[in-house]
Chains A and B, each alone.
Chain A
Amino acid sequence: MAGKSVTTSRRGILRAGLAAGVALPAAALSARAQGGPDPLITEVQDWARYTGEGVDETPYGLPIRFESDVVRRNVPWLTADPISSINFTPIHALDGTITPAGCAFERHHSGAIELAKPDYRLMVNGLVDRPLVFTYEDLERFPRHSGVYFCECAANTGMEWAGAQLNGSQFTHGMIHNMEYVGIPLKTLLDEAGVKPEGKWIYVEGADASSNGRSIPIEKALDDCMVAFKANGEALRKEHGYPARLVVPGWEGNLWVKWLRRIEVTDGPVESREETSKYTDTLADGTSRKWTWVMDAKSVVTAPSPQVPIRHGNGPLVITGLAWSGRGAITRVDVSVDGGKTWKTARLAAPGQPMQMTRFWLDHDWQGEEMLLQSRAMDDTGYVQPTKSALRAIRGENSVYHNNAIQTWWIKQDGSAENVEVS
């Protein structure tokens, strides 16, 4: 892993510094422990004397090496191979709401393909007045639209249905990203082709081998879907669908077809593999829900959490996390430190916006006590994020998808944290 080699080289630098007789970090600490002055302040540091890198050093930069643990991570045992697989956004280490594209999760069914803009074609066919083919250059000439939306995999938190499994919010809740998109309203493209009255659904598919074909009702297609070509200010990353993907606000990530190549207007759903075999939710009695498109209100405390233990001792502690809802805007997030016996309403960093991530903070005075930390989101429809047992009572344990249950972190007296379930 890249992180490891960087860590090692960082240690190598420290050792080299030792050999050269540079001030010891340990000595600095012990001087401070005795109430002495801090050599990081009293001694002129290298960065205050010598120059840093010039502006030509990095035409397109990566995060500083000290942040090398803020990376996507894979859980190999979840899937048969890494091509049709998932990785996880390091939400435990992020703050605010916008996900940096470089560490925003990936989910592919036949890998991340390379599709150049000159090779890109988008077809609109089916129940339309005129079937059309667009080039990428055509797309850039349509009137544009922008919006910030979360994209959450339907399977996010899916491994946790039967119990507490993975130790860290990155793994339990990291199949999600939140980006600012620019593109074209899907309605504009459909109007260009002219939807016939009998067109009730669309079928969307990608240019990759898996195709990821999905059916979407025409009402949603004409409402707020968009064909996006920019995310967080720049072109989509290859792994996020370059040069164009579908954005389906509030709905499960599988519908956000990447490398979008065809939009067909149909009179009914295709009932493709991705909406029959997959992305259907089996209930306790063996029947299964289909077309569970909306992602319900959900939240998670990202810190403290198993990957972010408390190391600073007693006193002020920032409890922070993310909340989102596919039905609308987050209006409130409550936080409990005692496993749900009592709740306090957290501060929202900004008023919740429809189908976007919302950041919350609760400023807590921690005195080394054990905590059972939970968060509970509410959206503007009045929906309150349920407990896992409330969800299981209705669905059983085999739904695979759509687990939006309240998460519990057990914060121990030493500040370490663990993924647990509570009664």
Chain B
Amino acid sequence: QDDAGRLGLGREALPEEIAAWDVKIMPDGRGLPEGSGDVMTGEEKYLEHCAACHGDFAEGLGNWPKLAGGEDTLDRKDPVKTVGSYWPHLSTVWDYVHRSMPFGQAQILTPDDTYAITAYILYSNYLVEDDFVLSRDNFLDVAMPNADGFIVDDREETEYPEFSGEPCMENCKDSVEITMHASVLDVTPNDPDDGDGG
């Protein structure tokens, strides 16, 4: 593209600035920095930074996310979606932990910390042994169990044809029965003055 039509606003981003903000990791490992971490170091770091919410074994406490477990539950009622049972790429674990965790104190983990904690999460999911050392070199060797569990949005083929066309306007069904009531569950926040909140 030539420069015609360009307004000339903004300035060139400096390499240091790009390095500071562009920390994303691609699924093929591009973006991973030098460094490494083993499971045992990861356990130490994890207990310090993560266990208060995610549990000592990455099993999750209270409503906080479970990071481990849930194998073979995706086709059941209430599937348990964790790094081990659901996440397709290890790059996402490294990227998200490094960028956005711990919750409330993000971006304090060094690359080595992040390799180590990622190794511990893998160990908690029984995906590596306790002497495993994760680094940029072996990053893609880790097999993620649900790597093939995703399909690209297919509503165009599976739904739109069925949900298109002139809909029924009269005598669309013989009878109508109520099959489920929200008030039976009674989980809506209540305002004493207003019935159901508002």
Contacts and interface: CB of A to CB of B under 8 A. Distances in A.
Contacts of A398: 74, 77-79
Q: Name A's interface SS.
A: loop
A292 B13 contact: no
A394 B159 contact: yes
B191 A132 contact: no
A273 interface: yes
Interface of B: 1, 5-7, 9-13, 17-18, 21-22, 24-27, 53, 62-65, 74-75, 77-79, 81, 86-89, 91-92, 95-96, 99-100, 103-104, 106-107, 149-155, 158-160, 162-165, 167-173, 175-183, 185, 187-189, 191-198
Contact of A262 (B21, B26, B178, B180): B21
Given A165-B187, A420-B180, A289 B13 contact: no
Contact of B198 (A168, A288, A293, A419): A168
Interface string A260-288: 01101010111111001100101011111
B11 A383 contact: no
A129 B12 CA distance: 10
Interface string A1-14: 10110010000000
B189 A76 contact: yes
Contact of A171 (B63, B78, B197): B197
A280 B183 CA distance: 30
B106 A110 contact: yes
B196 A167 contact: yes
Contacts of A270: 24-27, 95
Contact of B179 (A209, A262, A293, A423): A423
A191 B5 contact: yes
A272 B107 CA distance: 16
Nearest to A90: B198
Nearest to B96: A273
Given A168-B197, A306-B196, A123 B189 contact: no
A289 B154 contact: yes
A378 B162 CA distance: 13
B7 A418 contact: no
Contacts of B79: 282, 286, 398
Given A306-B196, A307-B194, A271 B21 contact: no
B100 A210 contact: yes
Interface string A354-375: 0000000000000000001000
Contact of B182 (A70, A272, A381, A418): A418
Interface of A: 1, 3-4, 7, 69-71, 73-77, 79-81, 83-84, 90, 92-93, 109-110, 123-126, 129-135, 138, 141-142, 163-168, 170-171, 191-192, 194-195, 203, 205, 209-211, 213, 261-262, 264, 266, 268-273, 276-277, 280, 282, 284-294, 296, 306-307, 309, 334, 338-343, 372, 376, 378, 381-386, 390, 394, 397-398, 410, 418-423
8 contacts: A110-B103, A126-B22, A138-B10, A163-B185, A271-B91, A307-B198, A384-B164, A422-B179
Contact of A287 (B89, B151, B168): B151
Contact of B63 (A79, A164, A280): A79
A164 B176 contact: no
Given A74-B189, A168-B188, A341-B173, A276 B74 contact: no
A411 B104 CA distance: 45
A271 B1 contact: no
Contacts of A123: 13, 17-18, 21-22
Contacts of B18: 123, 125, 131
Given A123-B17, A133-B10, A133-B12, 8 more contacts: A142-B7, A191-B1, A191-B6, A195-B1, A209-B100, A264-B22, A273-B96, A419-B183
Contact of A307 (B6, B22, B196): B196
A250 B178 CA distance: 33
Q: Which of B7, B10, B159, B160 has the most CB of A within 10 A?
A: B10
B194 A288 contact: no
Contacts of B163: 383-386, 390
